[in-house]
Amino acid sequence: MTIEINTHILLADDHQLVIDGLKSMFQNETRYVISGEANNGQEALSLIQSDPEKFQLVITDVSMSHMTGIELCRHIKQQYPEIKVLVLSMYSGVSVVKEALSAEADGYLLKSAGKDEFIQALHRITDGGTYFAQDIIPIIYNQYQREKAHQDALSILTTREREVLSLIVKEHTSEEIARKLFLSKKTVDNHRQNILAKTGCKTTIGLVKFAIRNGME
């Protein structure tokens, strides 16, 4: 018998109508539990600080009073890196997306997305991957393409490590990479650690930025 582990979520948005709409999406999703809600970033951070183990995922708007969603994400990743953060926004501008990446957000989804994409993003993030809306991937790619300075940076990786990194960039989990490359999950995890060490990155988001910055698709 398989025991399903629930993911406890904190919703942060300064519009109650948005929070109510998000909550309605979870009515038939037994995997997720809404365990808290906040109307600004400071309130959300206070809820987390009062009980850090209560939440595994924070879904936050970008524009909020007292503390923006980006600032909230940055505080969470600095203090509680095990908590995942999905940023929701109406904006797909370069500056906002870049700030979210800099804050180490695990995902960025536009509020115009449908329920199916929203649930897909949740599955991807809670399974250890990342999710960025298709509409903003070109923005991310073009931005870091302009900033790349070391054309030969990927040469420090072996062929297999490049294959693993390419799949990480495409938001595959370790289990999925193992199946695609006919490897064990342990071997994939070892490759992931070697890639982190060689590139000087500390997180998966860091690896994504490294790969994009150096022209990997």
pLDDT tens, 151-203?
A: 567 888 999 999 999 999 888 999 999 999 999 999 999 999 999 999 999 88
Q: Rounded to the nearest 5 degrees, what angle is found at the Cα of 128, between the Cα atoms of 122 and 129?
A: 70
Q: What are phi and psi of 22, to 5 degrees?
A: -65, -40
Residues 6+ apart with CB under 8 A from 15: 61
Q: Which amino acid is at 61?
A: D
Q: Quick one: pLDDT at residue 58? A: 98
Which structural domains are found in the chain, ordered by start?
7-141 (3.40.50.2300), 150-213 (1.10.10.10)
Distances (CA, A) of 163 to 148, 154, 166, 181, 188: 20, 11, 5, 8, 10
The model carries a pTM of 0.66
Q: What pLDDT is attached to residue 54?
A: 95
Q: State the average pLDDT for the chain.
A: 88
pLDDT at 148: 56
Residue type, 19: I
Question: In this predicted structure, what is the pLDDT of residue 2?
Answer: 44
Instruction: State the pLDDT at residue 83.
Output: 96
What type of residue is 139?
Answer: I
What's the CA gap between 189 and 174, in Å, rounded? 7
Query: What pLDDT shows up at residue 7?
Result: 93
Positions in the chain whose pLDDT score sits under 70: 1-4, 143-152, 217
Q: Residue 74: its pLDDT value, please? A: 96
* Res 143: pLDDT: 64
